[in-house]
A and B are shown apart, each in its own frame.
Chain A
């Protein structure tokens, strides 16, 4: 069985323009909805997300656990289970509509044009396959090169992601590598076929804090070298603060604020964004300072609350917030959008310490 036949790319081949040949943006997502049918009801995991990514730029997607970040990334890829999923909206990649693609066409996009870096390098590498083979598999699949050439490329890739003695290590198994090393291998695999867009789904969550920065720096260096676009999904604003060109803050399946990084930090409008910023502990704080947690939990996505979804946890909540849902609107600069009835003003005092007393199940500190 030749590899080429196994790929199933005999028909419906898609032509992708060269990276310099098409106009920005690289990826346009419009009004994307993804819901899962469960025993308890329909979970609206992604609820009307629109965004776009230009060539070679980084979009940070930030939010708590359960805010729909991972589902968003997988919806963009088209990597959703077949059963019990309802999806709508469009995902246009280099002008090609992804949501209507046949599986064989998607396989042409995956790996070669768009690839994903997973959260946990412990489970995302096949434990019983040598790392070299895991890299060469996709090389041989997409680039149609022979084993020898693929091996040489794999060695170069491992070297470029900072793995010492790659000639020997391509014969190693994942368990013989540390977590940081495995994530480097994951990056090498994801970048093997020079994709234009990489979705990194919390690429550093499973790693030691000391290794996190190295991995992010590596990703950024590879991005610059190859002029890739990156969607960096994380729950940590600190991670994207220095690395993203633009940040989208997600809450309960929606984008609640999106702006270029500098604008977002300088002119925060949405209280949730502010709360996320405040929840990053500061080394300068005196010892014994309470950590600023966001009180309460993200809402139930089967029965989302009326009005603003952040209202039950918002320190500035007003009656209007509980009654009607704020639409996304544009701030002072046109590339800054937010969804809030009573946006913060620049230089306003930070929200009162501790949660609001009305949040059930918590008490003010």
Chain B
């Protein structure tokens, strides 16, 4: 991980003195400048810091193990080993077992699938739909903006958790349904963030400049404004992923997450606190809670560092 600050001044002012108009500048100018470094060189000026890489590593470990969970040498998550009930961590069960003799590491790895899918897919739904509407709304303004803005306020005014509980209770407790419900719930939040950002770029000179070159509104929205909005949307989206993972935990606590015995981190924590497990075997609750805590911390940190890093372009202008 390179942490050294590269001293590189992108300033080229004054070096063009003596350039004859209408002619290509003499080669001397180029050599006096030194060969221009690659853009990535300059972007690496502000290091992301070791914490960022630790966080990214943790997210990567969780994600990769969740994806290849079937290939890992783990006991099946729902296999009950009655000879090892409430076992302490050992070489056979790295994190111990629960009150039904199920391997906790295995349940956490498989449970990560649910938490990650709900977290990222729900925010993905919110970003694609809410983000697109927000981009257009911020750029176009007018009646379109007023209508969608009002709609987002109405949805936000309704307590999200109550709505989600009600819909889940009536509709069903499959992974897809829970993801879609939470995803739809994040649309107004994403809409508002992206709209605010889009609005702040809609009247910039470069938007008018693009217009003077014959660009259509659609082209301006997606080629000029979208790249500027992405950093804010991504970092806010990551923070929302963390929030959605917690929301899944809350649903599990109320028995409304993915149907048992399918493990999800929320389900695992809920199990760890029921049936007196907290007193007899606190590991059941502790491991998934720790995994979730570290994942949320990591995601927030990544989102924050990415935002800081992408800010420099604006800062230097």
A→B interface (CB under 8 Å): 6-8, 77, 79, 107-112, 115-116, 118, 120, 122-130, 137-138, 141-142, 159-160, 162-165, 168-169, 171-181, 184, 186, 189-190, 192-193, 208, 210-211, 214, 217-218, 220-222, 224-225
Contacts and interface: CB of A to CB of B under 8 A. Distances in A.
A164 B30 contact: yes
A160 B40 CA distance: 25
A142 B214 contact: yes
B313 A127 contact: yes
A6 B13 CA distance: 37
B317 A122 contact: yes
A141 B16 CA distance: 31
A111 B25 contact: no
Contact of A111 (B29, B33, B213): B213
A220 B22 CA distance: 8
A129 B214 contact: no
B92 to A, nearest CB: 53
Given A107-B214, A164-B33, A180-B13, 19 more contacts: A7-B219, A110-B212, A111-B213, A126-B227, A127-B206, A128-B228, A128-B230, A128-B313, A141-B213, A141-B215, A164-B15, A164-B30, A165-B35, A173-B39, A175-B10, A176-B10, A178-B10, A193-B213, A211-B16
Nearest to B12: A178
A353 B213 CA distance: 46
Contacts of A127: 206, 228, 313-314, 317
Contacts of B14: 178, 180, 210-211
Interface in B1-37: 10-17, 19, 21-22, 24-25, 29-30, 33, 35-36
A187 to B, nearest CB: 11
22 contacts: A6-B216, A6-B218, A7-B216, A118-B208, A123-B206, A126-B227, A129-B223, A129-B227, A130-B39, A137-B213, A141-B215, A164-B30, A164-B36, A168-B36, A172-B36, A178-B10, A180-B12, A180-B16, A210-B14, A220-B21, A221-B22, A224-B22
B33 to A, nearest CB: 6
Contact of B224 (A120, A126, A178): A126
Nearest to A104: B216
Contact of A129 (B11, B33, B212, B224): B224
> Looking at B22, B214, B312, which has the most chain A CB atoms within 10 Å of its CB?
B214
Contacts of B205: 118, 120, 123-124
Specify the main secondary structure of chain A where it touches its partner: helix
B38 interface: yes
B316 A175 contact: yes
> Looking at A109, A122, A127, A177, which has the most chain B CB atoms within 10 Å of its CB?
A127
A162 B21 CA distance: 8
A-B pairs, 9 with minimum CB distance: A221-B22, A178-B13, A111-B213, A221-B21, A111-B214, A217-B21, A164-B30, A175-B316, A138-B213
B209 interface: yes
B24 A174 contact: no
Contacts of B29: 164
Contact of A173 (B36, B211, B313): B313
Given A162-B19, A214-B17, A178 B11 contact: yes
Contacts of A125: 206, 209
A224 B42 CA distance: 37
A180 B19 CA distance: 12
Contacts of B39: 130, 171-173, 176
Contacts of A208: 13
B27 to A, nearest CB: 8
Contact of B215 (A137, A177, A178): A137
A162 B260 CA distance: 69
A138 B206 CA distance: 13
B214 A169 contact: no
B206 A124 contact: yes
A218 B11 contact: no
Contacts of B21: 162, 214, 217-218, 220-221
A340 B232 CA distance: 56
A108 B214 contact: yes
B36 A165 contact: yes
B30 A189 contact: no
A200 to B, nearest CB: 12
A305 B314 CA distance: 44
B209 A118 contact: yes
Contact of A110 (B16, B214, B219): B214
